[in-house]
Amino acid sequence: MLSFLAPRSLTELAAMLTPDRPSWLIAGGTDRLIAPASLPAEGVILDLSRLAGLDRIETAGDRLILGAGVTVARLASDDRVARLAPVLTRAARVFGSPQIRNRATVGGNVANNSPAADLTPALLAADAMVRLWRGGEERALPLESLLSRTLDPGEIILGFDLPAAPLGGFVKLGQRQEPAISRLTLAAAGPKGALRLYAGAVGPVPRRLTGAEALLNAGDPGFADSLSRELAAANPGRASTRYKALAARGLAEDLLSQLSGAGA
Ligand SMILES: Cc1cc2nc3c(=O)[nH]c(=O)nc-3n(C[C@H](O)[C@H](O)[C@H](O)COP(=O)(O)OP(=O)(O)OC[C@H]3O[C@@H](n4cnc5c(N)ncnc54)[C@H](O)[C@@H]3O)c2cc1C
């Protein structure tokens, strides 16, 4: 039999995560429910959407605290997010369709670990820490450290903690305007002169483009060319490499325009 439970606290969640039955986590369901054979016949589905605190957006000094259950629609419209992490506002505004944005969560996007996830490169550019919970214990790690592994069974993302990154740009290449799986994304965030630059959908996990990042921070006009070369070198021999290298130049121009305050 398949049960459905919606814990309201971490204490309730811990009691529901018993080792004698398989459990499946769900937040907005936009990845989980459309996956082939996504619903098991036996076990328990644990709906995280009512877990206290998972939907919080708060500030602490000049840091932004996000619960994993914050929806993409709230990211797109929240003033505190726009002020402290505009890279997330921009990524959220080009994410899926309005219906998807209303359900999809930031934690689900990162946990699902898709190479085409839009929020993961944006959070990495913003130098986010991820807060994890497992077996009653909480810990905070640089998000970067989650790239090399998947979450353990029963491990939950509670949320993210970001330093202020007043400049932010996010540009995306897809096969159509929306909704589309990203073929290439660029995310840049930080203070002027110390931006961090990541590309998404260029491999299994987002890639920090350190060469292009240095030119971006120096205001060097060779930025777009360098970025295109760095992406081509990252994926040699793939059918899409040449196309993405060319498209990267256009995306780089759009990113510069956003960072200068001129872009949409
Ligand atoms: C039409 C359509 C368009 C889309 N467009 C985009 C797009 O433009 N950009 C993009 O990046 N993605 C897109 N997606 C993918 C999807 O919407 C996102 O990845 C979304 O953020 C997933 O969040 P969710 O809350 O719906 O996750 P769910 O489907 O509920 O869960 C996804 C996975 O994460 C796990 N999980 C969820 N929350 C947690 C947590 N707090 N801790 C641990 N594990 C957790 C679940 O167990 C599951 O394995 C699209 C999907 C569809 C169907």
- Is residue 83's pLDDT more than 70? yes
Cβ of 27 less than 6 Å from ligand 1? yes
- Ligand 1 contact via 95 beta carbon (within 6 Å): yes
Atom of ligand 1 nearest to the CA of 94: 8
Residue having the nearest C-alpha atom to atom 18 of ligand 1: 109
The CA distance from 81 to 100, in Å, is 19
The pLDDT > 70 percentage for the chain reads: 95
- If you measure from the C-alpha of residue 211 to the centroid of ligand 1, how many angstroms do you get, rounded to a whole number? 31
pLDDT digits (tens, 9 = 90+) for 87-130: 999 999 999 999 999 999 999 999 998 998 999 999 999 999 99
Q: Is 48 in the pocket of ligand 1 (CB under 6 A)?
A: yes
What pLDDT score does 124 carry? 98
User: How far is the C-alpha of 186 from the C-alpha of 252, rounded, in Å?
Assistant: 8
Does the beta carbon of 132 lie inside 6 Å of ligand 1? no
Q: Measuring CA to CA, how many Å separate 212 from each of 30, 191, 207, 208, 253?
A: 34, 16, 12, 9, 13
Three-class secondary structure assignment of the chain: CEEEECCCCHHHHHHHCCCCCCEEEECCCCCHHHCCCCCCCCEEEEEHHHCCCCCCEEEECCEEEEECCCEHHHHHHCHHHHHHCHHHHHHHHCCCCHHHHHHCEHHHHHHHCCCCCCHHHHHHHCCCEEEEEECCEEEEEEHHHHCCCCCCCCCEEEEEEEECCCEEEEEEECCCCCCCCCCEEEEEEECCCCCEEEEECCCCCCEECHHHHHHHHHCCCCHHHHHHHHHHHHCCCCCCHHHHHHHHHHHHHHHHHHHCCCCC
Residue 229 tokens, joined: 């070369």
CA pair distance 48, 69, nearest whole angstrom: 8
Q: Can you tell me which atom of ligand 1 is nearest the CA of 116?
A: 11
Question: Is the beta carbon of 100 within 6 A of some atom in ligand 1?
Answer: yes
At residue 136, does pLDDT exceed 60?
yes
* Nearest atom of ligand 1 to the alpha carbon of 68: 41
Over residues 10-50, the pLDDT tens digits come to 999 999 998 888 889 999 999 988 876 667 788 899 999 99
Using a 6 Å cutoff on CB, does residue 25 contact ligand 1?
yes
Q: What is the largest CA-CA distance in the chain?
A: 62
Could you tell me the distance, in angstroms and rounded to a whole number, from the CA of residue 215 to the centre of ligand 1? 33
Confidence at residue 255, expressed as pLDDT on a 0 to 100 scale: 96
Does residue 138 carry a pLDDT above 70? Answer: yes
Q: What is d(CA 221, CA 118) in angstroms, rounded to the nearest whole number?
A: 27
The pLDDT value recorded for residue 35 is 74
Query: Ligand 1 centroid to 248 CA: how many Å?
Result: 26
Q: Which amino acid is at 248?
A: A
Token pair recorded at residue 14: 């811990």
Q: Is 107 in the pocket of ligand 1 (CB under 6 A)?
A: yes
pLDDT of residue 61 exceeding 90, the answer is yes
- Is-contact 80 59, C-beta < 8 A? yes
Could you tell me the distance, in angstroms and rounded to a whole number, from the CA of residue 26 to the centre of ligand 1?
A: 9
Distance from the CA of 164 to the center of ligand 1, in angstroms? 25
**CA-angle at 159, arms to 158 and 161, nearest 5°:** 140
Ligand 1: centre distance to CA 128 (Å): 18
User: What would the pLDDT profile of 216-240 be if each residue is shown by its tens digit?
Assistant: 999 999 999 999 999 888 777 777 7
